[in-house]
């Protein structure tokens, strides 16, 4: 991800810290005169790369320019396909952005005069959406399958963070069969996001390949869903039910 800042002054330090925390690889500064970056944080290696530009880079529809809702936006934040965005452009609180050719103009959920458009707030909203899109699975409605983890893909037991049960009988073969049919298979679990890496390693250890892991499903006594396929220990029945219903009705 590239963040391009235009005429940002005293807020540049905080913007750099935000970009570093969110995993931005490169920051471009245009006409950021008088801005100062200091502190031990920026003497370390591996931090965000900062470059001063004398002119605007070539922009496209993969770039997003952050504007206020009253500045003729093309989209609002929730409508952007953040997974495809390569650059986020933000203007300073005094001047905002000039009219640019190429990028999508996206309204941030803030109202009022330009001075209320803080650089850190605008960037935080956009970068959060970008990071969330990068880690959360992208489903194709009518094709893909979401599978529970504990008690379905893995044997159930008393929950302990970082501890996982063995795969249920036939789980690896069933997931492979579903993926071989052209569908993506995602794990949907109530375990917290901090366990995502542990889940990935545990499944890989047992030869179970999935297309993504979505953590944070609400814990509940029961789940009521019009597309639910109840797991009762027989994966062959599950595979037959899913593939048959998808072909016949267009969804699982």
Residue 230 pLDDT > 50: yes
Residue 248 pLDDT > 50: no
pLDDT value, residue 157: 86
Query: Based on the domain organization, do 156 and 107 belong to the same domain?
Result: no
- Does the residue 151 lie in any domain? yes
* Helix, strand, coil percent content, the chain, rounded in steps of 5: 30, 20, 50
Segment 195-207, tens digit of pLDDT: 988 999 999 999 9
Q: Are 166 and 228 in contact (CB under 8 A)?
A: no
Query: Based on the domain organization, do 125 and 193 belong to the same domain?
Result: no
Grouping H, G, I as helix, E, B as strand and the rest as coil, residue 105 is strand
* CATH (domain of 236): 3.40.50.1000
Grouping H, G, I as helix, E, B as strand and the rest as coil, residue 189 is strand
Place of tokens 């502190």: 39
* CATH (domain of 128): 3.40.1280.10
Extract the runs of DSSP E, i.e. beta strands, from the chain.
2-6, 26-30, 49-53, 63-67, 75-76, 87-91, 104-107, 145-147, 185-189, 212-215
Segment 155-213, tens digit of pLDDT: 988 888 889 999 999 999 999 999 999 888 999 999 988 898 899 999 999 999 998 88
- Does the residue 94 lie in any domain? yes
Selected residue with higher pLDDT from 71 and 165:
165
**Stretch 35-64: mean pLDDT:** 74
Query: Based on the domain organization, do 24 and 105 belong to the same domain?
Result: yes
- Mention every residue, 6+ apart, whose C-beta is less than 8 A from residue 109: 69, 76, 77, 125
| pLDDT band for position 110 (cuts 50, 70, 90) | low
Query: Based on the domain organization, do 14 and 125 belong to the same domain?
Result: yes
Domain of residue 163 covers 145-249
Q: What is the DSSP string of 42-87?
A: GGSTTS-EEEEESSPPP--TTEEEEE-TTS--SEEGGGS-GGG--E
pLDDT value, residue 210: 92
pLDDT value, residue 42: 47
Mean pLDDT of the chain: 83
Selected residue with higher pLDDT from 30 and 95:
30
């Amino acid at each position: 991800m590239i963040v391009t800042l235009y005429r940002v002054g005293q807020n540049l330090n905080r913007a750099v810290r935000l970009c570093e925390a969110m995993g931005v690889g490169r920051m471009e500064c245009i006409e950021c005169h008088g801005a100062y970056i200091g502190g031990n944080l920026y003497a370390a290696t591996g931090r965000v790369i900062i470059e001063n530009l004398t002119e605007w880079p070539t922009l496209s529809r993969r770039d997003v320019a952050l504007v206020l809702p009253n500045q003729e936006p093309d989209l609002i934040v929730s409508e952007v396909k953040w997974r495809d965005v390569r650059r986020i452009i933000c203007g300073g609180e005094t001047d905002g952005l000039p009219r640019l050719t190429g990028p999508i103009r996206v309204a941030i959920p803030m109202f009022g005069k330009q001075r209320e458009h803080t650089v850190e707030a605008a960037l935080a909203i956009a970068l959060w959406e970008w990071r969330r899109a990068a880690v959360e699975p992208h489903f194709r409605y009518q094709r893909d399958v979401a599978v529970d983890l504990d008690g379905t893909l893995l044997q159930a037991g008393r929950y302990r963070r970082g501890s996982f049960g063995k795969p249920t009988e036939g789980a690896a073969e069933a997931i492979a069969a579903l993926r071989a049919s052209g569908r993506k298979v995602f794990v949907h679990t109530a375990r917290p996001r901090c366990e995502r890496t542990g889940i990935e390693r545990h499944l890989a250890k047992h030869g179970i390949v999935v297309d993504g892991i979505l953590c944070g499903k609400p814990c509940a006594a029961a789940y009521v869903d019009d597309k639910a396929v109840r797991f009762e220990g027989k994966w062959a029945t599950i595979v037959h039910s899913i593939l048959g219903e998808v072909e016949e009705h267009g969804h699982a």
